[in-house]
Amino acid sequence: MKKSILLFAVVVVFGGFILSSCASIKILTPGTIDDDIAGLQNLANCQYFISKDVTLNFLSDNRQTGINEASGVVEAQRIITRRTIKIASSTPGILQTRNSKGETFYGYHQFTGDTGREFLSLSILFEEDDDNAIVFQAFYDDKNDRFELFKDEINYGGLTYKITYDGDEFPYLKYKIMERTREQNEARKAKGRKIGS
């Protein structure tokens, strides 16, 4: 009997430990940069994910012609090149802080648009090549705005790829957070005071 109670206590304690150390994925907003990440200077230390699977598609269609001098026949050759890169929502990404030339930079760009609104763009890398960043942008003056995909085309490895995804909602950035809860409870009964004390 004592062994089963001890085993139950160990399981309960272990289960509580697992629950208190679970990581979660949250939507990245300007507000979470201030509240959870503690400012722009810490963006490079975070792990990012995209909200849905995206596919980068490249298509090249070249036609070359020439005349066969022996027969006088025009000969045409068509070369079609297709390239596809899939980035799953589970693929981890990092902020681009350098390029392949070794130049370093912040990985984000803050600016004011024509309408006077403040924007923040983040360049995120999902592969080893330091030049193939995908840009996400949010209104930095709106603390609840999501960092959504900025363009549907990208220069990736020197080629222009179209970015496609399912549904109408733009892909947006998420980040991983480990949140622990520590609670302190204190309860006591007031003793009271008597006259003269």
pLDDT at site 9: 39
Residue 20: predicted pLDDT: 52
Q: Kindly give the confidence (pLDDT) of every residue in the chain, 197 residues in length, as a single tens digit, with 9 standing for 90 and above.
A: 444 444 443 343 344 443 455 778 899 999 999 999 999 999 999 999 999 999 999 999 999 988 988 898 998 999 999 999 999 999 999 999 999 898 999 999 999 989 999 999 999 999 988 899 999 999 999 999 999 998 899 998 889 999 999 999 999 999 988 777 788 888 988 988 888 87
pLDDT on residue 21: 54
SS3 per residue for 10-58? HHHHHHHHHHHCCEEEEECCHHHHHHCCCCHHHHHHCCEEECCCEEEEE
pLDDT on residue 6: 43
Contacts for 22 with CB less than 8 Å, ≥ 6 apart? 178
pLDDT at residue number 7: 42
Q: pLDDT for 1-39, tens place per residue?
A: 444 444 443 343 344 443 455 778 899 999 999 999 999
Rounded Cα distance, 191 and 133, in Å: 65
- The total of other beta-carbon atoms located within 10 Å of residue 25's CB is 15
Beta bridge partners of 182: none
Nearest to 60 by CA among 129, 164, 161, 153: 161
- Measured CA to CA, the distance from residue 34 to residue 154 in angstroms comes to 29
Best CA proximity match to 120, nearest among 56, 55, 176, 37:
37
Query: What pLDDT score does 193 carry?
Result: 86
Please tell me the pTM assigned to this model. 0.75
Per-residue confidence (pLDDT) for residue 15, from 0 to 100 = 41
pLDDT for residue 13:
39
